[in-house]
A = this chain, B = another copy of it.
Amino acid sequence: MKQFVNLLDLPSMEETLNLASKFKKNPFSEKEIGKHKTLLLLFFNASLRTRLSTEKAARNLGMEVVTLNVNDAWQLEFEEGAKMNLDTAEHVKEAAAVLSQFGDILAIRAFPSLTDKEKDASEFILTSFRKYASIPIVNMESATLHPLQGLTDAFTINELKLKQRPKVVLSWAPHTRALPHAVANSFVETMQQQEVDLVITHPKGYELNPAIVKDTKVVYDQELACKDADFIYVKNWSSYQDYGKVLNTDPNWMMDLDKLGNAKFMHCLPVRRNLVVADEVLDSDQSVVTQQAGNRTYIAQSVLYQLLKNILL
């Protein structure tokens, strides 16, 4: 594997999940592979789980870790041909080339603007770094995708499923702020490649990008959608059609024990209690959000391991 920007970069999703499983059993079994190698983590947006799990994954493999919060240091220019006489102090061409001098893998988090649909769709930050960096790039959540989370969710469902082909529901929930589509997109993309019955539910106007949803079943009635589910993954996102807008904050869409039924409750965290999901759900045994968060480490470790393997070829 030469990079990990989206799921298509994986030689095999199954192998990636198996490897994560192996690392969960024995996190330090490949501690030699990362010796004298450095992972750079570049955050354009704050992070807790992603930073901690990716750092831990790298250290489990024996790598050095350097974490950079971009906005602490300088503002980057991404425009080709820009005359840089205003606020930006360095062009991504130099930044990407220079970072490549000091690390062996470059992991990047860069959220969308949620104001410029086309620019966000172009993934200009991640794409620019891919173009100008000479080391492998890892997507730690970009404008439209969060594949490390999607893989973790598949991994967690595999750990917990009690039947061969569980029913999995992705349910929108209300939120006061406009949130990205990345987690929902990557969950849908991952589930489409797993042996599950996937149903998406959300209010009208919250349709995800049709290029992602494809022929996945969408049900606008949340209760109906959740009926007999084995896993319910709850997540807010802003409107995609009316790009980045909050059209609906209807509290009836909050997940509660009634709608949850016997399903396991999943969420990528952080989650706002009693807005997105009721206390009674998060505090119940059906919630698997902590296990989900913990699994992030092993998926990141699986991805980094495959990149290191390729570097050392």
Contacts and interface: CB of A to CB of B under 8 A. Distances in A.
B290 A98 contact: yes
Contact of A85 (B72, B99, B275): B275
Interface stretch (A62-70, A120-128, A160-168, A196-204): A62-70
B269 A82 contact: no
A293 B269 CA distance: 38
A261 interface: no
B289 A94 contact: yes
A176 interface: yes
A66 B53 CA distance: 11
Nearest to A283: B93
B46 A66 contact: no
A174 to B, nearest CB: 9
A94 B291 CA distance: 11
B282 A94 contact: yes
Interface residues of A, number: 58
A189 interface: no
Contact of A48 (B49, B68, B83, B271): B68
Contacts of A98: 48-49, 269, 290, 293-294
28 contacts: A38-B56, A38-B59, A40-B52, A46-B73, A49-B98, A49-B102, A52-B103, A53-B101, A56-B102, A59-B64, A82-B273, A84-B272, A89-B270, A89-B272, A91-B273, A93-B273, A94-B270, A94-B271, A94-B282, A97-B290, A97-B293, A98-B293, A98-B294, A100-B290, A101-B294, A101-B297, A102-B294, A102-B297
Interface of A: 27-28, 36, 38, 40, 46-49, 52-53, 55-56, 59, 64, 66, 68-69, 72-74, 77, 81-86, 88-91, 93-95, 97-103, 176, 269-275, 279, 282-283, 289-290, 293-294, 297
